[in-house]
Amino acid sequence: MKQIPESELILNKDGSVYHLNLLPEDISDIVINVGDPDRVGLVSSFFESVEIRKQKREFVTHTGHYKGRRMSVLSTGIGTDNIDIVYNELDALVNVDLKTRRIKEHLSALKLVRIGTSGALQADIPVDSFVCSRFGLGLDGLLNFYRLQNTDEELSLIKLFSEHYPNDSVFPRSYVTKSSDKLFNHLSKGTFTGITASCSGFYGPQGRIIRLDIARPDMIDKLSSFRFGEARITNFEMETGAMYGLARLLGHDCCSLNVIVANRLAQQYSKNAEESMNKLISLVLERLSVL
């Protein structure tokens, strides 16, 4: 196995991975991802104990125990560009010998679970409800830099979506990946399920108009009207597509759950977002504790 050059996998002086500032022993096999660094402390406040607290830039990590199960919670910051950093470095922590810079002979699979916030794209999905993403649909283009092998089902979905929502030779080519069956089946009970679209920004890329005209004023209508059998685009945010794609490529299980804080069709915003987030955190931790 060839050695990975220092320029390709950068390590800090203490041997930790560059951006996350973590050593292999700092993380559990369950890693909860949140966007907001302040939400790390919120999640770990549910733990009985916290043994690791580390931070570098927007990447905050706490590792501890919930009902006897060791778990980590790590903030990714906003956007799929950060997911590219976080998931590659998490994988390096478990599947690369950081001292020899060689890929391990026996690979490990992490359980990666997003707890985030999102906007609904269907009128019947109310604010403060929960969505568990069956598919991650990337509108951002990140996975186009990797060689992703799609299933026949995924290929059918992306073909149909590309016909419904052509990129007009202007926008990135869309991609799609399905969630981990194991995690989805374990975490999705009692939630809305469907396709979560991930965008490359919050304003124009999500169809918001403040002062600037946008290239796709029909975006919300086109996304909300798409159907793949019984599946529909339930919501959109800025991370899930890349999470599902990179997890698949790296051999990890991944599932994304979101609190709906806004309904874009009804133009409503939650008045109880913090309370709803606490409920989702509690739900996810309870279900992960028995994995």
pLDDT of amino acid 90? 98
Q: Name all domains of the chain by residue range, CATH numbers in brackets.
A: 24-288 (3.40.50.1580)
Mean residue pLDDT across the chain: 97
Q: Report CA dihedral (32, 200, 214, 212) to the nearest 10 degrees.
A: 80
pLDDT tens digit sequence for 94-149: 999 999 999 999 999 999 999 999 999 999 999 999 999 999 999 999 999 999 99
pLDDT over 70, % of the chain: 100
pLDDT digits (tens, 9 = 90+) for 73-86: 999 999 999 999 99
pTM for the model? 0.96
Q: Can you give the pLDDT at residue 126?
A: 97
Model confidence at 169: pLDDT above 90 = no
Tokens of 219: 């975006």
Average pLDDT of span 169-185: 96
Closest among 251, 267, 232, 290 to 92, alpha carbons compared: 251
- Written as one letter, the residue type at 34 is V
User: Cβ(124)–Cβ(131) under 8 Å?
Assistant: no
